[in-house]
Amino acid sequence: MPIRRNVIGMLPAPGLKCPECVAAGITSTVRTISMAAERIEYEQGADPTNPDEDREWVRGWELLYDAQGAYHIHDPIEYVFEYSCDNDPPHYFSEIRQNPCPQGDYP
């Protein structure tokens, strides 16, 4: 079943360090300077309880409980993060992340 977008948003990253500072053997604070959701495919009117309603849904978005009762979040949205560290001068880098399923089978 498709789920309406923006239900959960981006979950926190488990950990992140500036790769250039790590390579240089120094420590730094890393700040997120922007976040954007990209590469989203929408489908119209996909609400199974009201197929005539004109809505947008994220294609492939699922919350489900499997046969063992375990909870799955399958979020196809790719989030682009841009960072800077507090080195002088600062380093800039970016990454693309998806929310990981708690059961480890997605993405």
The string of DSSP letters for 35-86 reads EEEES--EEES--TT-TTS--EEETT-EEEE-TT--EEEE--PEEEEEEEES
Q: Is the dihedral of CA 61, 65, 66, 71 positive or negative?
A: positive
Tell me how far, at minimum, the Cβ of 42 lies from Zn ion, in Å: 22
- Applying CB under 5 A, among 77, 79, 85, 99 the residue interacting with Zn ion is 85
Say whether residue 62 binds Zn ion (CB under 5 A).
no
Say whether residue 58 binds Zn ion (CB under 5 A).
no
- Applying CB under 5 A, among 3, 18, 46, 58 the residue interacting with Zn ion is 18
- Applying CB under 5 A, among 11, 72, 80, 93 the residue interacting with Zn ion is 72
Say whether residue 16 binds Zn ion (CB under 5 A).
no
- C-alpha 14/C-alpha 4 separation (Å) is 26
- Applying CB under 5 A, among 20, 47, 78, 82 the residue interacting with Zn ion is 20
- C-alpha 64/C-alpha 73 separation (Å) is 7
**Is the CB of residue 61 less than 8 Å from the CB of residue 5?**
yes
Tell me how far, at minimum, the Cβ of 91 lies from Zn ion, in Å: 3
Chain residues in the site for Zn ion (CB under 5 A): 18, 20-21, 28, 72, 85, 87, 91, 101, 103, 105-106
